Each structure stands twice: as C-alpha cells, then as structure tokens.
Copies of this chain bind each other. A is one copy, B any other.
Amino acid sequence: MEATGVALNKLAELEEELEVVDKDVELFKLKKVQPIFKRRDKLLEDVPEFWKVVLSQHGDFGNYVRAGDLKYIDAIRKIDLVPLCLDDSSCDPRDFRITFYFDGIDGDFEGQEVSKVFKVCYDKSKVKFSREEDEDDYDEDLGFLTSEAVNIKWPKSYDWINPLKIEDKSSSEGKRNYRIGMKSFFAWFKWTGLKPRKEFPDGGGLASLLSEDIYPHCIKYYAEAQRDLVDETGDDEEVSDGPLQLDDVLLESMSDSENQHVIKKARK
C-alpha cells in the first residue's frame, strides 16, 4: 500500500512534466511551421476565392455561423493567423491573433480588415456565470480561450439584428432579433469568453477550429473541396460559373503531377 501511494504521487508529478513537454513540442512546431505558413499565405493571394472555397466546404465551420452569414464569409479575401508565443514568451502556445480581410459588397457591406486576439486563461473567477452548469465547460487546469471584444462593421442588410441598430431591445421583437444577431459570425468579434449565454455561443470553439484545424490544414480542405467538385461535375464536363472556375484551373494544372499530389494528399 505504501509503495503504491508513493508511486501515485510520483506519477502525478510525471504527468506535470509531460505537460511541460507538450508545451515545448508545441513551441518547437510553431517555430518550424510559421515561416512555411507565411510563404503559403503569400501564394494563396494568387488563388482566387481560396478562403471562400475552404470555409464554404468545411464540414464543421458552417455549424458555428448563420446560413445568412455565408454571403459575407465568401467575401473574406485573406486570413492571417499569428501565434503570440513566438514574440512573447509569456504567452501560451495556443494564444494567437487572427486577421480577416473582407472585400466589400456594393451598397451593403464595407470592405475591412479586422483582427482579434485569443488568449488562454486559467482563472475561472474572471468568468461571469449565469448558470452553474456552465462552469463545467471551463477547466482551470487545461485553460480556456478568452478574447477582447473588437469592432466590425456589420452589413446593412443586418440592421434588423445588428445590436447597435436595434432600437428597442426590450420589446419582444427586439429581444428576438438581438438573439438572432448574437448567433451571427459578426457577433463573434465581440465575444470575450467571460459572459457565457450573454454573447456569441461557443466563440472559443470557433476560435480553436480556426487556429487548430482550418488555418493549418487549409490546403488539404481546398484540395478536398476541389476534388468533390471534380467528382460532382465529372472530369470532362464544361462548367460555366461560380467557384467551378477554380475547378477548371485545377483540372488544367492537374496534367502536372505535383498538382495531382495536392489532390492525393487531401484524400488522406
């Protein structure tokens, strides 16, 4: 019994050592990967509608936003994501800043560049819980993402659900529209992670999805989406408009073995 107790104590210490190793590994990886991602992002500027294809075809992203948001998400020209720990060693490897570059849509939506910073927090006392059961979603050992609210210009067509434009928030219609607006991608920019149920739902989940899945694996998702389009339309059919133009581009360059490689990788 005694030996077991001693062993269990030491095992708990080892688990903490393993956590430190996990952070070291994460940092090592970011340092290696970041310069490659920067070169990649530069190349992506030459691929028309890259993020439109990736975000509209991603299996999970669409679950976080309103269907009506997709039109404006299609207007994302570029996404930039930078881990903060490379310049600031006090930061967690999971801390990052993401910047969206939106193209404008005439008469409805102003082109803009919006950055948002996410940082891991380990102090649950900073969170204002309105329901006790929500506390389980926040783990002080593992940490949870938080962010500062940033401004984004909403599209005109969203005036009815834009929290700054709803005139009477106490009317039942005002309340309802406010709640709808809170579920919009635009409301995510105001998300802090400190007011569960009072802001965009699971904003941390969307942030992690972008930083851990979509941004690092965007080429894979792009190639997958292209492959699906190829499968849908058949190899030699002529297609006229929309994202299928991209398909043509890819089919054209697929005579080249390296592009087939992109496609092949995506099949994994």
Contact = CB atoms under 8 A, between A and B. Distances in A.
Interface of A: 1, 3-18, 21, 24-25, 28-29, 32-33, 36, 39-40, 43-44, 46-48, 139, 141-142, 219-220, 249-250, 252-253, 256, 258-259, 261-262, 264-265, 267-268
13 contacts: A4-B47, A5-B259, A7-B43, A7-B44, A7-B47, A11-B40, A14-B36, A14-B39, A15-B261, A16-B261, A21-B32, A25-B28, A141-B265
Contacts of A249: 1, 4-5, 8
A176 B3 CA distance: 47
Contacts of A11: 40, 43-44, 47, 219, 262
Given A28-B25, A142-B268, A268-B142, A36 B8 contact: no
A31 to B, nearest CB: 10
- 7 closest residue pairs by CB, A with B: A7-B46, A5-B253, A12-B258, A12-B262, A3-B46, A7-B43, A25-B29
Contacts of A15: 219-220, 261-262, 265
A8 B48 contact: no
Contacts of A253: 4-5, 8-9
Contacts of A47: 4, 7-8, 11
B259 A12 contact: yes
Q: Quick one: which of A12, A219, A253, A268 has the most chain B CB within 10 A?
A: A12
Contact of A219 (B1, B14, B28, B36): B14
Q: Quick one: which of A4, A8, A48 has the most chain B CB within 10 A?
A: A8
A28 to B, nearest CB: 5
Nearest to A28: B28
B17 A21 contact: no
A258 B10 CA distance: 9
